[in-house]
């Protein structure tokens, strides 16, 4: 099939362009990109794309799949369909399934399940084929986090990298992991958080926590853990990705470390860029996140960090939970929210349309930069490249409700609300 996208706004962080162009795509390849394309075959499908945005396919660094073990929350099929509907062409799942992905046989089983899910992909989704699924391998075997997995075996099995997706407070183990991983050439991601300082807290320490009567979490629960991690990286030299950055001081520490030449990358999540502690006054359990939403200074620092490249990427950290799991008191509900289908529309609406971010800055943080954090590349939107693209309509409105979502879960504070911005198509 050959189609011509006419007058589409091409946003390409690789080529650093943001302009109106014609793009000719044939059999999954980009054939031509120009200000005007007229030399086309008679069977070419012509699409008027005025007002639409075309960029590289979005890449998610880390999210949670329910399958295996928690299929009532999310199956691999619903996860991949949700990702495609949100504009993602590559997604990476954390290993905290049941069983945990800590053995090559489990990686193989998950790949087999994902192929079965791709075969059942919804024909209603305008994407071809399903997003590419990457699998993080677990760092530790046991719940206590004291025994290292067979990292080399998992690397040979094709995991994208290593993380537990949970805090590792045994610094001797972390040091051993960094030393062991040096020759393997795979990304390793850590979520620095001191659980003793976190204690039973559920929201960021400050006046809002006092006002809402919720147990606080000090910013130092994150920053002290990041400082310790940076010291280990400085000593050993193994590249590290720092997940779920949520405080202004964390951004400062990471900026200083990068300026000193430490081999680190970092990410924050999309909700930490949009909301602060004041939103928690609704006590909506989908605002119970871990790490918690920051204060207004944290949000401003995170946004500035993403724009400056101190924070390399925006992760979705899609965390589905069933209705029953989330219908509890705020402090008792498990932390996390869905986001694969919501992130791009909301980030575009509140960051790009307000002109706080340029379109290139946002798209880079959602596509090329997360790919780099995974040790991957994203091709420029130029002729003779495979089409890995997302077509987005920033003006299309839709309502967030059960029938409009592909994910099985509904744990989002935007449920029932009207959003502006919707993905039209992806090419994978």
Please list, in sequence order, all residues whose beta carbon lies within 8 angstroms of the beta carbon of residue 392, skipping any fewer than 6 positions away.
52, 53, 54, 55, 87, 344, 348, 421, 422, 423, 424
Residue 115 main-chain phi, psi, to 5 deg: -65, -40
The one catalytic residue among 22, 298, 317, 393: 317
State both tokens at 398: 């839709």
**Are the beta carbons of 248 and 222 closer than 8 angstroms?**
no
Q: DSSP alpha helices (H): ranges in 48-88?
A: 76-85
* Cα(208)–Cα(201) distance, integer angstroms: 13
Which DSSP category does 194 fall into? -
Planar angle of CA 407, 276, 363, nearest 5 degrees: 60
How distant, in Å, are the alpha carbons of 80, 84, 425 from that of 77?
Answer: 5, 11, 18
Selection from 59, 58, 81, 77 nearest residue 68 by Cα: 77
* Cα(404)–Cα(416) distance, integer angstroms: 10
Phi-psi region of 16 (alpha: psi -120 to 50; beta: other; left: phi over 0): left
189-190 β-sheet, strand order? 189-190, 240-242, 264-269, 313-315
Active site residue 317: yes
* Cα(164)–Cα(322) distance, integer angstroms: 22
Which DSSP category does 316 fall into? -
Active-site residues: which are they?
A: 317
């Amino acid at each position: 099939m050959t189609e011509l996208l006419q007058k589409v706004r091409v946003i390409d962080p690789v080529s650093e362009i943001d302009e109106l162009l014609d793009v000719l795509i044939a059999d999954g390849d980009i054939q031509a990109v120009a200000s005007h394309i007229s030399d086309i075959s008679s069977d070419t499908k012509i699409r008027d794309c005025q007002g639409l945005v075309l960029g590289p396919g979005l890449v998610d660094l880390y999210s949670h799949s329910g399958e295996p073990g928690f299929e009532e929350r999310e199956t691999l099929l619903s996860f991949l369909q949700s990702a495609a509907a949100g504009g993602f062409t590559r997604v990476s799942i954390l290993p905290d399934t049941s069983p945990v992905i800590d053995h090559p046989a489990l990686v193989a089983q998950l790949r087999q399940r994902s192929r079965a899910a791709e075969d059942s992909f919804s024909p209603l989704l305008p994407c071809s084929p399903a997003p590419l699924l990457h699998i993080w391998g677990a760092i530790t075997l046991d719940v206590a986090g004291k025994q290292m997995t067979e990292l080399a075996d998992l690397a040979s099995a094709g995991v994208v990298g290593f993380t537990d997706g949970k805090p590792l407070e045994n610094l001797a183990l972390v040091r051993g992991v960094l030393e062991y991983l040096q020759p393997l050439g795979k990304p390793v991601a850590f979520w620095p958080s001191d659980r003793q300082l976190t204690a039973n807290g559920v929201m960021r320490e400050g006046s809002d926590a006092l006002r809402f009567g919720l147990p606080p979490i000090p910013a130092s629960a994150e920053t002290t853990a990041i400082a310790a991690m940076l010291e280990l990286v400085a000593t050993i030299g193994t590249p590290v990705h720092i997940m779920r950055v949520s405080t202004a001081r964390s951004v400062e520490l990471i900026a200083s470390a990068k300026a000193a030449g430490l081999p680190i990358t970092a990410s924050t999540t999309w909700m930490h860029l949009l909301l602060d502690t004041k939103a928690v006054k609704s006590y909506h359990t989908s605002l119970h996140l871990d790490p918690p939403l920051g204060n207004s200074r944290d949000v401003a620092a995170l946004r500035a960090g993403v724009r400056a490249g101190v924070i390399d990427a925006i992760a979705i950290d899609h965390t589905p939970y069933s209705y029953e799991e989330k219908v509890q008191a705020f402090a008792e509900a498990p932390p996390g929210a869905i986001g694969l289908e919501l992130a791009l529309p909301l980030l575009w609406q509140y960051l790009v349309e307000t002109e706080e971010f340029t379109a290139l800055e946002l798209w880079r943080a959602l596509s090329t930069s997360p790919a780099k954090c995974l040790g991957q590349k994203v091709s420029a939107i130029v002729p003779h490249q495979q089409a890995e693209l997302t077509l987005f309509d920033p003006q299309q409105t839709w309502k967030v409700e059960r029938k409009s979502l592909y994910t099985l879960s509904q744990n989002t504070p935007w449920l029932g609300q009207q959003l502006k911005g919707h993905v039209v198509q992806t090419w994978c």
